Amino acid sequence: MQRIVIRKPGGYSALEMVEEPDPTPGPGEVVIAVEAAGVNYADGIIRMGLYESARRLHGYPITPGFEVAGRIAALGPGVDGWTIGAAAIGLTLFNGYASYLRLGTDGVFPIPRGLGMAEAATLPAVFLTAWWMIHRQLHPEPGETWLVHSAAGGVGSAILQLGRLAGARTIGVVGGPHKVAHARRMGAAEVIDKSGEPLWQRAETLAPGGYHAIFDANGIATLGQSYAHLAPTGRLLVYGFHSMLPRNGRLNWLKLARDWLRTPRFNPLQMTRDNRSVLAANLSFLQSHAPSLRAGMLWLLKRFESGQLAPLPVETWPLADAAEAQQRIESGTTVGKLALIP
């Protein structure tokens, strides 16, 4: 088998292809012959050495990747309900950038009809993150107005679709005119292109009373203003800090330290007075909630099967070009998702 290994944190050259024997499944496990592996922004943070769960839960060397799709290649003892050759999605904590993946059956799911391998491989991480924030943290009510930063990215696109199902009015924020049509297709009632119009002035015009929820993965660039634009009882949902990180693969430690010092600190006394909340999510630290995450995946797959949810557009790259794929996603210009093809 082939897999990508990061022996120690670094730039794009830290992504190394290695050859190894194919894995053998243990009790309750299967081996998936991977046909596509999802690429997420978090994978690059793992490469840089800044993803805390990678350091605390795994360590280096490490193979990045949280999601794959392919066919069952081998069954371990005691496995029921799966057959050799069956198409499957695999949800994993690291190790996804590989041609074969050994995985416990709790992390394996059937692929909904009509989805290709690359589409299936790129739905778990982003849709499950969006589902967790919306249905386990936000508890939405129909008629709410949400502001969704990074609305053309993977999680942003998923939030727009789930917001439509929840009866919310979603306002998408994108960073370029080529992303506007995609955000509308995903369900945005309005789209703010911050490259060509003032973000917060337009946001205030579209929701003069503030937003019931704002989803923000930008970090220092928008967190303070996101909190300020919440309505009473509004909730700020944080799931990333993209603006603090480089777009060229090389860390600027001085900028990182400066941005860390400038990151908003939310005062609970002020939050109590304002009736506003700050919530945050990182699924890689939620292994103790694995049954809830599995229930969320089954909920999502049912809606993909029925057509209520749609897969995202996917750019594909050969597994050997993982560095180019990470460079592409870190550029901030992509729409939808990226996948590696072994």
**In CATH terms, are 2-123+312-341 and 125-284 the same topology?**
no
* Positions of the chain with pLDDT lower than 70, given as ranges: none
The pLDDT value given to residue 21:
97
Q: What type of residue is 265?
A: R
Coil, helix or strand at residue 79: coil
The residue to which tokens 């589409």 are assigned: 119
DSSP letter (8 states) at residue 69: E
The pLDDT value given to residue 313:
97
Summarize pLDDT for 93-107 with one digit per residue, the tens.
999 999 999 999 999
Summarize pLDDT for 14-72 with one digit per residue, the tens.
999 999 999 999 999 999 999 999 999 999 999 999 999 999 999 999 999 999 999 99
The residue to which tokens 């009510």 are assigned: 141
Whole-angstrom distance, CA of residue 225 vs CA of residue 165: 27
Task: Report yes or no: 119 and 314 within 8 Å, Cβ to Cβ.
Answer: yes
Best CA proximity match to 169, nearest among 94, 121, 231, 90: 231
Average pLDDT, the chain: 96
Whole-angstrom distance, CA of residue 109 vs CA of residue 123: 12
Task: Report yes or no: 131 and 286 within 8 Å, Cβ to Cβ.
Answer: no
Whole-angstrom distance, CA of residue 155 vs CA of residue 162: 10
Domain ranges of the chain: 2-123+312-341, 125-284
CATH of domain 125-284: 3.40.50.720
The pLDDT value given to residue 252:
83
104 CA to centre of own chain: 22
Task: Report yes or no: 67 and 113 within 8 Å, Cβ to Cβ.
Answer: no
CATH of domain 2-123+312-341: 3.90.180.10
